Every structure is written in C-alpha cells, then in structure tokens.
Structure 1
Amino acid sequence: MMDRLYRFNAKIKLRTKLFLLLFVLLMVSLALSSYGYYTYSLDNAVSQYSKDAYQNIRQSNIILDQKLLKIVENSELMNKDKDIYRIFNTIDPEDPNDLLKYDRELKRIIGKYFDYDEQVYSQTLMTSYYTFGEGFIPYESFMDSSVYRHIRQGEGQLVWEPTYDFIKMYDQKSLAGSDIGDFRYLFSCGRVLNLFDNSTGEITGLPHGKERPVLLINFKLDFLTEFYKSLAYDAHLRFFLIAPDGSLVFANDEASQSLTNSPWVSEVLSGKSGTLRAGERRDPMVVSYDTSQVTGWTLVSAIRDKDLIPQVSRNIATTIARLGLIVLMISLILAYFMSMVITKPLIQLVTAIRKTGRGDFANRIPVHGYGELDNVIRRFNDMNDKIQQLIHENYEVKLLEKQAQINLLNMQLNPHFLYNTLNLVSCIAIEQRSDEISRIVSSLSRMLHYTVENDKSTGRLREELEWLEGYIYIMTCRYEGRLDYGCYMEPELLEGEVPRLFLQPFVENAFVHGFEQMEDGCVLRITGWREDNHRCFSVRDNGNGISAGRIEEIMKGNSSSVGIKNVHRRLKLMYGEEYGITIQSNSGRGTIILIRLPDDAVQ
C-alpha cells in the first residue's frame, strides 16, 4: 500500500504538488481568518447589543420615574392641604351624612392632585371606618392586609407594593367566580398622611385621637404593559420588573416570569444597574438591568445567545462569503504563480545537474536574483568551476603531497639528528674522561627530548621535576658551587598532572635576575604541599628581590619579563580565575613565588 502511494506521489509533478500545497495553505489561512473574524464580529455584536439593551432599559426607567415622580410629589403636597386637614379634623365617623358629604368633597380634592387615568384602578383615602375616593377597596379587610402593614412601616414615606391578587389580599372570596380581570392583579403605592395646617402661621397637626388617613393608589397591570410596549420589539426578548425582595411586579410573558427564580437574579438586585452574562454554558444569555430611583424596583431584560446570534450572524456570514470568494480567486492565481516561480529554477538546476553527471562541467545556469534558490544555483556554478580547476591542478596537487611527505620526514629527522649529535659529544667526553661535560650534555639531551617530543599541555610533576633537575644542574655548573638548591615535595603530589614548564620561568628568573650580582650564598628552594583541597607550590630565592612597582608591571605584562605573566594567565585559563601565582618580594630581600593549583581530585 505504501509503495503504491510512493509511486503515485512520484508521478505527480513538483509544480502540481507545490500548487496544491500553497492552495491548501491559503485556504486553511482563509478558514482560520474567517473563523477569527466571525468570532470577533460576533463578540462585538453581542457587546454592542448589551450596551444598546442597557440604554433602552435605562431610558425606560428614567421616563417611568418622571411619570411616577409626580405621584410622589403630589402625595407630599396632600399632607399640607388645609381642606383635607379640615375634613379629617371635623368628620364624625359615626354620622353617615358626614361620610357621604365629605366623600364627595374628597373625590374632588383627590382629582385635583391626580389626573384621571383609565389604567389606574383606584385613588382613595383609606380609614378604618370608610373608603374615600374612586374605586372599590374594602376598608374593613384593608386594615388587615399586608399592603396596610407595609405602608404603616413606611412612617409617612411613599411605599410601593409589588403586584398582588386583589381577592387574596383583601379576602374577597365572594368575587372568586366573578369576571374582575381588569383589577384582579394590581400594584400599589401608598403613604400615611401626616396632615397639618399652617394657614395661621403656626403648624398644627391633627389632634390626638383623630385617625390619620392612608393615601392608596392602585394601578392595573395595563399601566406597565402599555408603558413597556417599546421594549417588546423582539419576540425573543424577555423582560420583567422585580422588587428588592425578589417579588415579581410585572413580566411580559410566562417565560420571563420563570427567569425570576434564576440564581443570577440576586446579583442583579445587588448590582442595581448594569449588564452581565448569565445562564448555563449551554444556554448563555445577555442580561441588562436598571433600578428605578422612585420605586426601587429593578427592570430586567434578557435574551439568549441562540436567539440573538441568528440575527447578528446572518450579516457576518454574508460578508465572509463575499470576501471568501474574492480571496479564493486571488489564492488560485497566487498559488499558480508562486509554484511557477519556485519550480522554474529547480527545473533548470535539475537539467544542469544531469549534464554535469554526463561530464559536462562547463555548463552554467544564468542567475540574476538573490534568493535562496539563486544562491543554490550560484553554488552549483561555483562547484563546476572548482571541479574544472581541480581537474587541471590534479598533477600539481600530487607533487605538493609528495613535497609535504618529504618535509615531514625532514622534521622527524632533525630532532633525532640533534639527539644523536649530543650523544656523540657525550661519548667523546667520557672517552676524554670529562664527566662534567658528559653530564651537562646528557642533561641537555633529556631536556630537549622532553620539550620537543611531548606535545601535551600537561604532564606528571615527577617528569617536570626531572626536566628541572637537568636545567638546575647545568646552571649549578655555571655558578661553580655558589648555589644551595633544595626541592621538597609531598610524595603524593609527584604523580599528579601539572601544566608543563610551569616552574621553569621562576627558576630562570632567580638565576638571571636574582643571583646575577651575588658572589656566593645563592639559595634556591622549591616546595610543594596540599592545603584546603588545593596544591600549592613555592619557588623561593634570596636574590636581589623585586620592587612593588616592578611586580605590578610584570603582572600587567608591561615589562620584558613575559614568562611570569604568561604562566599566570595560562593557569587562570586552564583552571579558573581563583588560581594562578602570587609574588612576594622586596628589593634586596629575595623573592617568593606562590603557585596555586586545584587538587587532582577536584579538577
């Protein structure tokens, strides 16, 4: 199966493969871009809808508050109405004629403060003995209702009562079978009138024992239905009005009414005004809400995303389809031309390679651009040039190789010739019974052998000391018995690896600079020991010493004595900045060189 796929793939031209690949990539990019644009546009649309819905709710509450504010203001004015004060100051609750007479007069007064509205069921002044005004409210059961209790708890402030059932509130079981649809469900506002008279310049309240009436205005639900008609522009929009305690005041349908039990309602009541995303993950919705400054009731609108999205996404999908068609055509053209641009130089390169394979190294591909394929073609042309050059230089290269072999043999022969010559001198010195010359030559031969034939950067301390012994022996012969030399090393240090010739520059400096003006008593000590997981070495002499300024010049490399500086730098490069050398010296008092290396175990 895989072999068939490989064979089928081999039959497809590279240009076709590139065209399909580029086209697919462009289509994937288009799909991802379209999805991103769709999601972004949808989020923006939902966000904008939330703002618009909130503004509608906010504006509706403001208009309703302006209308209800008149009721609040007029109800406050009734407190200081001298006619109402006079009536309730003089009325005899036991006299039916008084009740009828003052009922007519109070209807006229109430009508002065509140305009007639067919959506208002009643405007009454309630007492325990009579109902004054328009509308039927049984005063006996009113005094036992929760409406009355709430108004009393308001202590003279206007209290708003959410929607209630007239029959249940006022215990009117006799009306249960009657058609009272107009006023079956009402919402109310009311306040206790704390009447007073200030016509004489002094404020006079009702005498003790006189009952203070309760202003009660009952609204039909049509009042809210007509007012909120403007919010019902969308059949999917749900809106409702709730009191601070969660009681339902009004809902546009049963689906809206069911939302009042949602867990997010408490957040709406505490938030007072704003928008939020509510509902479950599978059924999210946009909620806008605002609380009335007059009633304290919160108006809430909600719409599910799945009802909102079809309206929004239709325009987005149309826009994406149009743009997608244009991008599709452009993608086809771009994919074709890009495949042509890529494959044309490759085809030329393949043709040229075939010619080169047949031995035609003179063929060249014209190139004018600076892209990657152009650089590959240039490299191909350069390769052919180099192949031709290598063909012409083949014999010359062979001759050079032979010359290199001869030079290598010479390099190998030169040290051996020098060793053999030194050994010959040593043998002659022995024959002539000159042991000192023989030993000097032998020491020089060993030193040369150790220096030339060992190309490692480190060696064993034992070998380093053997080389140094030869050097010191030669210098001892030169100083003719004036040198007192001693080397003291802890035995376990002898097999450790140390940098090659790391002691030689300091010993040489002792001979060249320290002892140069001394007639006798030259002392040289080399010591090695372990200390705190480090290997420490010292080279100490009693020579002329070095001044502090001279030491600073040497360490900075500003003097002709570069050996010390080179060893110091080499140790730091090999082992780290904490290692190296320290010079302790004063003019005329000798010199101590301290060398610090890491222990073999911690390297």
Structure 2
Amino acid sequence: MRILRKMAEMAANAKFRIKLLVSYFVLVSFIILILGFAYYQISSRNMLTNVRESLGNVVINNNQLLDEKLQYIRDKSEMLPIDNELYRVLTEVDASDNESLLKADRRITQILFKYFGGDTDMYASFILTPEYNFGNTARMFVMPQGFFASSLYRQAVAGKGDLVWIPTYRFAETLGEKDMSELTFEFSKLASAVKVLNLTFLDEKGIFHSLPQTMPKPILMVNLTTDYIGKLFADYAQQSEFQHLSYGIVDESGNVVIDSDPERVARLDAPSWLGEAMAKKNGSIQKVINGKRMVISFSRMESTGWISYIEIPVEDALQDLNALRRYSSFFLVVMLLVSIILAYVMSVYITKPISRMKKAMKLMERGNFHIHIPEHGRDEFGHLIRTFNHMNGRIQTLIEENYASRLREKEAELMALNLQLNPHFLYNTLTTLYWIAVENNQQEMSLIIHNLADMLQTSTRNKKETWPLRTDLDWLNKYIYIMSSRFENLFYVEMDVEESLLDMEVPKLFLQPFVENAIIHGLAEKEQGGKIGIKGWSDGDKVQFTVVDNGRGMDKEQIDKIRSGKAASTGMPNVEKRIKLLYGIQYGLDINSSEGNGTTILLRMGKQPGQQDRTEVQ
C-alpha cells in the first residue's frame, strides 16, 4: 500500500510534460495492443473457419470418390447370385476330382474378371467353398479352412446375403496363418468385403432353381489394400502445406481402416471424438488431443458407414498469423517513439498559454474581473483565451440576467395559474346561463347549455390522451343533441356499438370529426331524411368503427386531398395520426365515397394503446 501511495503522490506532483508523455505512452500502447488482439482474434477465427471448410470439402470429395468405387463393388456383387453360368459351375463341380476343380477354377476366375476385372486398383477377389478357393490366386491365396474358421466368415453369415465391409485386419492373424505372422508381405494388411451367395438359376423353361440344401453356400470375398482406400488422403497429405496433418478412416466400433501412421492400422484405436462424429455424420470440431488443440474435419461414408477424417493442429492452421505478431510489435515500438516526441513538443506548446491563464485565474479569485490576456493565434488555445477575456466582460451581465430569469419564471408560473382558472370560469358562466334559461322556461336552450357545460367539464377534467369509449360516446351524444337542435329535422343518428367495448380506452373525441363532417358537408344540401350510422365491433385482435351517412359524398380528388393533408379539414388527419401513434402504423382509417352515394368512414385500431416509434409513423 505504501508503494501505491508513493506512486500516486509522485503522479499527482509530476510536471505536466511528464504526465502528457506517460499518457501518450499508455494510450498508444493500449490502442495498439487492443487493435492487434482484436485483429488477431478475428483473423484467427476466420482462418480457422476457412481451414475447417477446406478440410471438410476434401474429406467429403474423397468420400464421394471412395463411395463410387465401393458402390461399384456392391453393385457387381448383387449380380453374382443370379449369374446362371456361376450357378452351373458350382453345382456341377466334383469336389473329389482335381481336374474338375481346376476347370471350375478357370471358369469362375473368368466370371470374377467379368465383374471385377475392370478395376485395376482392386487387389484380389475369390469365391470360397469349404473345399476350394476359386479365383485368381497369383497375387494372394486364402486357405478355405482358415477362412471358414475366421471372423470374416462369421460376419458374412451375419450379413444374410448382404455385402459386409470388413475393416483393415492382419491377414496372417485373422486367417490362422501362424507360419506367416512373422513374415512381411505385400498384403499383410487388408480390408475386405464378404457376402454369402444365395445362388439361383432360371432354366430355359422358366423354372426357378436354388442351391441344394445339402450344398454349402459359397462366399464372395473381395480384398482391398490400405493403399486402395487411403490413396486419395495420402496424395492430399503430400501436397498439403500443413506440416503436421494426419488422416484416417475408422469404423463404427473404432477399428482403424487406414491411418497416416501405419502402426495404427488394423488396431482397435477409437478416437475420443468418434461418438460425436457418428452422431453428426459430417462436419468439423475442435478437440484437445494429447495436450494440443486440433481441428478435425470428418464425413461418414454412405457405402460402408465408416468415418473419414483429417486433423491438423490449430497452430498449423494459424501459422500465417505469426507474421502479424512481428509487425504489431515493430509498429508498437515505432509509435511509442513518435508519441514521446509529440508529447514533448505538445507539452511545450500547451504549458505557456496555461501558465498565463493560471495567473489570470488567481487574480479573478481576488474579485478582479477586468483582466485581459494577450491574444495570439487562431487555434484552440487562442480561442480559449479570447473566451476567457469575453467571460470577464460578461460576468456581471450574466449575474443580472440570472436574477431577471428567475423573475420571469415566477411570472410564467402565475400566468399558468391564471390560465388554469379560465376553463373553470367558463364552466361556471355556462352553469349560470343554464339556470337563467330554466328560470325563463327556455327548456331547449337550457338543455343545450347543460350539454355544452358537461362537454366542457368532461374535456377539461381529463388530461390524458385517451378515455373510455363509454365517455367518448356520452360526449358525442351531447354533441349530436346540440347539432340536431341547430339543424332541426335534418338528420337522425343510429348507434350500434358492442357493449363489451364500452370500457376500452380510445383516443379522445375520435368519432366527433367524422360526425361533424357528415352533418356540415355531407347532409348540408338535404332538407330532411339525413341519416348517420355509427357502428363499433370487435374483429379478432382489433376493433373497427364505421361512420356512414347518406349525404352527397365525395369524388376521388377530394378524398386524395384529405389523405395528402391539402384539404381544409384537419380533424380527420388528426384522428388518423393519433390512431397510428397510439396503436401502430398498421391501423388508421379508410374512406369509401362517391358523389351522390354518401360516405363511409372505417376506423381500425387495436384493443390496447401502445407505444409506437415516430419514425415508423412518418
């Protein structure tokens, strides 16, 4: 704490130049570090995204090419069970006659070549029976006894006639060739596809034949090397710019089919992220593997269900960003040097005018407001000095204006109180006129004055922008009574408003302008028979009102003037604007009228007033 106190005391007592220099240093360092950090984070995020997309596309493309090859094998294997020649060869061969077996082997080899010989990348294909291995054994040979005792045969039987893909396995260990386990040979690690052949035959008479029940069903075995499966990934790894790229293919159980590390092939070495990849099928994830953050892009093969993946360290993906760190460090050093020079120059330039103002302020503390500092230059300091000098000349005037302003505020308050009294005075006057009319037995006049007084009182007491519909209709009925007294026998009004709406809040006097327009303009030329219909009803989440008259109506030009605000009438635009402000721009009014056919005004509003941005209304 003592050290912090001493540092704070030194900072408080330091000269302005030192403070300016340190502040420049801290500010520039902070800005550069923040900008560098932000740019690095954004760049690294974008670069990781691009790398993930690129690796994902590579995996998907490679899978598509592999799927095409493996699907070719599957398609061909579906044709073998209905091959008539293969059926005849296997049913006619004499397992006890070597010559018969050799002839059958040549014919079956030709049949296999017809189906699988077009793919030069395929290693070998056989049809195995307990007695013999039919096929081209030039590259490899599979003993029937070892095969039918192996897991390959059991998986083929479990497939029930479907082609079953077997992940990479060690040939000698899986097929029981113990003598070959210590040897190194070309096909020591294989991936295979096996299938039980449910052979059928259709003779010339159209009779369908299947293998005799006493005859064991032959097994198709197609062998693929790891190079066949992993060639595309190996080629990409050689051409890639990433130094520590690795790849592989694993099955659902975690058996390694291929791997960039040959020692892991044909092992049960499931990656920790395999479950997540199997659930997603395609995509990219980031995981910490052996203490390193890794980017893993993966895709599931449609033909086999295996997961192909490519993974690289995040450091490799961001290797191009190392240059950014060096440039940022160099830029920081340069900017710090520049900031020190600028801080020194600016401190000298700033301190002189500040010193002059400091002396002038001391004189002002003593009550001397007639100080004048010499003015030099048009910069901020020159403007500050001129403002300081002007302040001294104006200070007394400001004090006087402050007193005068307070007096005017008091006068304004008194005037506001007087204005508040005016409505009450007018209401009391109307009440006096009402009683005079009653005393003189002028009933019509007394009712008009009474209604007018109630209207005035209702309007002045309610200062809000809305009131209940019940209040608005009561006010409107009084207005209609006054107007019907003025225009005797000219019109009558029918009102049909749902009772459930009477307590809802509505804009004050929102129907009155339309009733007034109907009386003054719509029905003015009629001598009698005028009709005004007012209707209100609920329509889902909104409420609608109509004001209909049978007056002279309006043409399109008049309606356009009202909508554009060019017409003399201000009541209708005012109501529409208030509705939009209270309920939203989707509400308002529609005018439907034509000359000689009356006018219909439709008002649409919400059930509850709400806030609405003015920018949206305008």
TM-score, normalised to structure 1, is 0.57
C-alpha separation in 1, matches of 2:249 and 2:195: 22
Q: Which residue of 1 aligns with 2:131?
A: 129
Indicate conservation of the 8 Å contact 2:369/2:393, yes or no. Answer: no
Deviation at 1:326, TM superposition (A): 7.0
Q: Which residue of 2 aligns with 1:463?
A: none
Indicate conservation of the 8 Å contact 2:360/2:371, yes or no. Answer: no
Q: Alpha carbons of 1:171 and 1:88: their partners in 2 closer, same or farther (altered >3 Å)?
A: same
Question: Are 2:304 and 1:295 equivalent residues in the alignment?
Answer: yes
Deviation at 1:113, TM superposition (A): 2.3
Deviation at 1:555, TM superposition (A): 7.2
- Which amino acid letter does the alignment assign opposite residue 187 of structure 1? A
SS in 2 for 1:161: strand
- Which amino acid letter does the alignment assign opposite residue 243 of structure 1? D
C-alpha separation in 2, matches of 1:370 and 1:386: 22
Indicate conservation of the 8 Å contact 2:285/2:295, yes or no. Answer: yes
Which of 192, 197, 207 does residue 196 from structure 2 map onto?
A: 192
Deviation at 1:290, TM superposition (A): 0.8
Q: Which residue of 2 aligns with 1:142?
A: 147
Deviation at 1:362, TM superposition (A): 4.2
Indicate conservation of the 8 Å contact 1:246/1:260, yes or no. Answer: yes
C-alpha separation in 2, matches of 1:82 and 1:553: 106
Q: Alpha carbons of 1:203 and 1:248: their partners in 2 closer, same or farther (altered >3 Å)?
A: farther
Listed one character per residue, the Cα deviations across residues 447-489 of structure 1 (whole Å, up to 9, x for unaligned) are xxxxxxxxxxxxxxxxxxxxxxxxxxxxxxxxxxxxxxxxxxx
Deviation at 1:267, TM superposition (A): 0.9
- Which amino acid letter does the alignment assign opposite residue 14 of structure 1? F
C-alpha separation in 1, matches of 2:168 and 2:388: 92
Question: Are 2:231 and 1:219 equivalent residues in the alignment?
Answer: no
C-alpha separation in 1, matches of 2:8 and 2:144: 98
C-alpha separation in 2, matches of 1:340 and 1:201: 115
Listed one character per residue, the Cα deviations across residues 324-357 of structure 1 (whole Å, up to 9, x for unaligned) are 5676577567756765776564344225446768
Q: Which residue of 1 aligns with 2:393?
A: 385
Indicate conservation of the 8 Å contact 1:122/1:136, yes or no. Answer: no
Indicate conservation of the 8 Å contact 1:106/1:132, yes or no. Answer: yes
Q: Which consecutive unaligned segments of at least 5 residues does structure 1 have?
A: 394-508, 514-546, 559-564, 566-603
Deviation at 1:89, TM superposition (A): 2.4
C-alpha separation in 2, matches of 1:122 and 1:316: 53
- Which amino acid letter does the alignment assign opposite residue 237 of structure 2? A
Q: Alpha carbons of 1:201 and 1:157: their partners in 2 closer, same or farther (altered >3 Å)?
A: farther
C-alpha separation in 2, matches of 1:73 and 1:557: 89
- Which amino acid letter does the alignment assign opposite residue 257 of structure 2? V
- Which amino acid letter does the alignment assign opposite residue 156 of structure 1? G
Q: Which residue of 2 aligns with 1:59?
A: 61
Listed one character per residue, the Cα deviations across residues 351-405 of structure 1 (whole Å, up to 9, x for unaligned) are 544676896934245488797x778646632453368999xx9xxxxxxxxxxxx
SS in 2 for 1:94: coil
Question: Are 2:70 and 1:86 equivalent residues in the alignment?
Answer: no
Q: Alpha carbons of 1:5 and 1:324: their partners in 2 closer, same or farther (altered >3 Å)?
A: closer
Residues paired across the two proteins, number = 414
Indicate conservation of the 8 Å contact 1:85/1:195, yes or no. Answer: yes
SS in 2 for 1:232: helix
- The structure with the largest alpha-carbon Rg is 1
Question: Are 2:173 and 1:173 equivalent residues in the alignment?
Answer: no
Indicate conservation of the 8 Å contact 2:296/2:309, yes or no. Answer: yes
SS in 2 for 1:363: coil
Deviation at 1:251, TM superposition (A): 1.5
Q: Alpha carbons of 1:351 and 1:85: their partners in 2 closer, same or farther (altered >3 Å)?
A: same
Which of 240, 244, 267 does residue 276 from structure 2 map onto?
A: 267
C-alpha separation in 2, matches of 1:322 and 1:337: 23
Question: Are 2:161 and 1:156 equivalent residues in the alignment?
Answer: yes
Indicate conservation of the 8 Å contact 1:238/1:255, yes or no. Answer: no
Q: Alpha carbons of 1:106 and 1:71: their partners in 2 closer, same or farther (altered >3 Å)?
A: same
Identity of paired residues, percent? 28
Q: Alpha carbons of 1:347 and 1:368: their partners in 2 closer, same or farther (altered >3 Å)?
A: same
Deviation at 1:161, TM superposition (A): 0.4
Q: Alpha carbons of 1:273 and 1:356: their partners in 2 closer, same or farther (altered >3 Å)?
A: closer
Q: Which residue of 2 aligns with 1:601?
A: none
Indicate conservation of the 8 Å contact 1:196/1:203, yes or no. Answer: no
Deviation at 1:52, TM superposition (A): 0.8
Q: Alpha carbons of 1:333 and 1:68: their partners in 2 closer, same or farther (altered >3 Å)?
A: farther
Deviation at 1:61, TM superposition (A): 1.1
Indicate conservation of the 8 Å contact 1:367/1:378, yes or no. Answer: no
Indicate conservation of the 8 Å contact 2:190/2:226, yes or no. Answer: yes
Indicate conservation of the 8 Å contact 2:29/2:332, yes or no. Answer: no
Q: Which residue of 2 aligns with 1:31?
A: 33
Q: Alpha carbons of 1:251 and 1:203: their partners in 2 closer, same or farther (altered >3 Å)?
A: farther
Q: Alpha carbons of 1:87 and 1:299: their partners in 2 closer, same or farther (altered >3 Å)?
A: same
Indicate conservation of the 8 Å contact 1:361/1:388, yes or no. Answer: no
TM-score, normalised to structure 2, is 0.56
C-alpha separation in 2, matches of 1:313 and 1:256: 33
Deviation at 1:222, TM superposition (A): 3.1
